[in-house]
Structure 1
Amino acid sequence: MTIAHALTRRPRTLGIVCAVCAVALGLLYLALAGAPARYLAINVAALAIGLAVLAMPGRLATAGQQWAGAASAAGAIALLATALVGADVDGAARWVRLSGFVIQPSLILLPVMLVAFSRSRSTLATASIVAAAAAMAVQPDRAMAGMLVLSLAAIATLRRDTHVLVALAASVASFAVTLARADTLPTSPYVDQIVYSSFDIHAVAGMAVWVGLATLLVPALVGWHRDAGNRAVYAAFGAAWTGAIVAAAIGNYPTPIVGYGGSAIIGYALSLLALPRLAGAHAGAVPQASDEMDSPLSDRHLRVELA
């Protein structure tokens, strides 16, 4: 009970637990499906990278929040570069090849950009989201364009301002462009169309996929209930990953976390970094000593007990 209570007060820590569980369930699916051992190793390595990012010193994380606009701009530039010079497959340029590995920058960068935008909106951050929407139209990537629309619509429902409305309008236009353009990419084994096909392998494989996907949304649901002051943040997080899940269920798009592919795993970890460290803490806020004293477990003690 103490651990459960502490987890609900620490969105990032809860997210780490959910990420580990989802990756583990994904490994179970991949093993039952007969995926190459290299696929399992890549997913584990991606989780290790994501956890290493989340283990950054507090000062570095705080600096990242202060420079959120510049970081979003860098992310938008990376997405535009991918659209223009990325690896092209059947007319879609969504990937970058690095030393024999293929990554999808949009799955890594868009979720954290959206959650950060829900916390801190500026002209630079808005321009970055608009540029990211343009990149999704050029690539084209219907799934990620849908993620943009869904997440920004969730933010607009709770915190409607000019920045959000401009970004939402750009995302809707981007999504319309992707709907108008043909998407003829074939299904990739162990990546696409596994939400339903996993049950053809074994009932346990199917349940592993479904439970793993549901686990990804737990931080958003718990945060919404426990942290009313930051509901826009949890709505952006939950809507972004719901969009990725829905896209994977209806089209040839990567199934996040539980399917093969490290991009979504790293992207999920990065998006956790944009959540409040403590429920009730606002962007850039530093927990007071009294809050730490009222907490039943410190972060250090919680990590020990979870281990």
Structure 2
Amino acid sequence: MSAGLRRGLTDLACRALLAALPPALKSWGWAVRCEAASIPDDSRALLFALHSLCGLMPRAIALQLFRPFAALCGRADPLSERSTAMLLLGAAMHRPRALGMGCAIGAVALGLYYLAIAGAPMRYIGINAGALVIGLAMLGLFGRAVTARHPWAGGAIFAMAVALLATALFGSPVGGAARWVSVGGFAIQPSLILLPVMLLIFGQTRGSWATAGIVVAAAAMALQPDRAMAAMLASCLAVLMVTRRDRHSIIASVASVISLAATFLRIDTLPAVPYVDRILYSSFEIHMAAGLAVSGGLVLLLIPAIAGVRRDPEYRATYAVFAAIWFVAIMAAGLGNYPTPVVGYGGSAIIGYLLSLLALPGRADVTAPAHSRTGSATDDLSSDGQLRLALA
């Protein structure tokens, strides 16, 4: 790469950061641009600009998405550097699980907005809202008790895999695919609830039972068949192979690739379901606001992983798997007739997303530069109370 191209990319990264940052944080963008310009080595300047972009962009996106809701409070500048909104967001950025809860609530709210504009039945809106309440309750119930490194984690993976296999064998078939079970008159897709949790637990624990569970889950995805979930399985195991390669991850990865290949041997004839599939495109045909709500909600799903990769090196592999799970789910919804997670109608993905937050740490081990640590210990302690108030 030529020196001129490296400098051009550095300038482009700085301009993108400046464009994304709200007015209250523009000074950060200008500081990054000036610092990058003062670095004589072109490669180091580019790496510095990209590192700054990855570090500040999650907060910039979250602030821009939060602006319409914060403006409802009547503040002239709801995102000023010392505003309550900024303090709450700063507190959440240090707590990945709490940040994920906020992103889930925001994504579901944007999804409900889309459903209302699109004219979906009120029952759909009630089901999504109810799934959010159930997911938050389960997260609160298991949040302190569940840990991926518990001795029975491998057994839990195997038990969930058996449930997925039972769905493939005895579930309610639709168009030749058996991905759903009927509970109280509601159709539930167990793979969207269980598979993300299984993959995140497997990323933190390895053993014979856990590996056997992933192999059984791969067989279940091939039998259902479900290309989207099989692709999620294969992608996440590929990420785990990069971060830590061992006998268990190799066996699981091979099984996932075979499962994905098997799903392509059968033609997927399921049509698109209104308010569930293809809404990433159809929402813009309804109204620009509906399309932006769907797109913004999908971006929110990835914010905890993007923020955590840089801020919490200890759990970097977990954040990478979390990102792969929901990025593949979003891509599958954009490329085929598969459910649009969280923002589309369907409570399974909402519950699955919230349960997947169990694998994220309650507090990130932030490694910020010394010059950026301007807060006091009192501010850090008080942020817990601010965050609880915000979630309430």
Name the TM-score, length of structure 2 as normaliser.
0.73
Per-residue CA distance 1:14-49 (angstroms, 9 max, x = gap) = 000000000000001101110000000000000000
Structure 1 residues 299 and 66: alpha-carbon distance in aligned structure 2, compared to 1, 3 A threshold: farther
Query: Which is worse superposed, 217-226 or 2-11?
Result: 2-11
Q: Runs of 5+ in structure 1 lacking a partner?
A: 282-291
1:241-280 superposed Cα distances (whole Å, 9 cap, x missing partner): 1111000001000000000000000000110011112213
1:201 aligns with: 286
Residue pair 2:88, 2:383 contacting (<8 A) in 1 also: no
1:82-141 deviation per Cα after TM superposition (whole angstroms, max 9, x unaligned): 000000011100000011000000000000111111111211111111110110000000
Give how far 1:300 is off.
4.7
| Whole-angstrom CA distance in 2 between matches of 1:99 and 1:23 | 23
Which secondary structure state, in structure 2, belongs to the residue aligned with residue 180 of structure 1? coil
CA RMSD of aligned residues (A): 1.8
Shift of 1:203: 0.4
State the secondary structure of the residue aligned to 1:280.
coil
Query: 3-state DSSP class of the match of 2:106?
Result: helix
The code of the aligned residue for 1:167 comes to: A
**Is the contact between residue 277 and residue 340 of structure 2 (CA under 8 Å) also seen in structure 1?**
yes
> Structure 1 CA distance, aligned partners of 2:328 and 2:151?
28
Shift of 1:306: 4.0
Aligned amino acid, residue 267 of structure 1: G
- Partners in 2 of 1:239 and 1:55 — Cα distance? 24
Tell me if structure 1 keeps the 8 A contact 2:143–2:358.
no
Q: 1:229 matched to which residue of 2? A: 314
Q: Equivalences for 1:283-294 in 2 at 5 Å? A: none
In the alignment, which residue of structure 2 is the partner of 1:49? 134
Q: How does 1:1-307 map to 2 (within 5 A)?
A: 1-56=86-141, 59-62=144-147, 65-280=150-365, 295-297=380-382, 299-307=384-392
C-alpha distance in structure 2 between counterparts of 1:245 and 1:294, whole Å: 37
TM-score under structure 1 length normalisation = 0.92
Bigger relative contact order, structure 1 or 2 (CA pairs below 8 A, ≥6 apart): 1
Quick one: distance in 2 between partners of 1:161 and 1:119? 13
Q: Is the 8 A contact 1:230 1:280 kept in 2?
A: no
Out of 19-28 and 119-128, give the one that drifted further: 119-128
Following the alignment from structure 2 to structure 1, what is the Cα–Cα distance between the partners of residues 194 and 101?
Answer: 18
Partners of 2:88 and 2:386 within 8 A in 1: no
1:49 touches 1:266 (CA, 8 Å); kept in 2?
yes
**Share of identical aligned residues, percent?**
60
Q: 1:195 touches 1:206 (CA, 8 Å); kept in 2?
A: yes
CA deviations over 1:198-249 (Å, ceiling 9, x no partner): 1000000001111100100000000101011111100111100111100000
Amino acid at match of 2:116: A
Partner Cα separation in structure 2 for residue 174 and residue 50 of structure 1: 29
Which residues of structure 2 form unaligned runs of 5+? 1-85, 367-376
AA in 1 matched with 2:113: L
Q: Structure 1: how far apart are the matches of 2:141 and 2:228? A: 30
Moved more, 148-157 or 176-185: 148-157
SS in 2 for 1:95: strand
- SS of 2:145 mapped into structure 1: helix
Question: How many residue pairs get matched?
Answer: 297
SS, match of residue 258 in structure 1: coil
Matched position secondary structure for 1:124? helix
Partner-residue secondary structure (3-state), 2:213: helix
Cα contact 2:148–2:205 (8 A) shared by 1:
no
Give yes or no for contact 1:108–1:264 (8 Å, CA) kept in 2: yes
8 Å CA contact retained: 1:123, 1:163 = yes
Counterpart-to-counterpart distance in 2, 1:257 and 1:235: 20
Q: Secondary structure at the match of 2:294?
A: helix
CA distance in 2: counterparts of 1:252 and 1:12, whole angstroms:
30
TM-superposed CA distance for 1:295, in Å, is: 3.8
Distance 1:273 1:83 in 2: 26
SS in 2 for 1:25: helix
2:235 aligned counterpart, secondary structure = helix
Indicate the SS of the match to 1:96.
Answer: strand
Question: What SS is found at the alignment partner of 2:264?
Answer: helix
* 2:65 match: none
- Work out whether residues 148 and 359 of structure 2, in 8 Å CA contact, stay in contact via their aligned partners in 1: no
- What's the CA shift for 1:63? 8.8
How big is the shift at 1:65? Answer: 4.0
The one-letter code matched in structure 2 to 1:256 is P
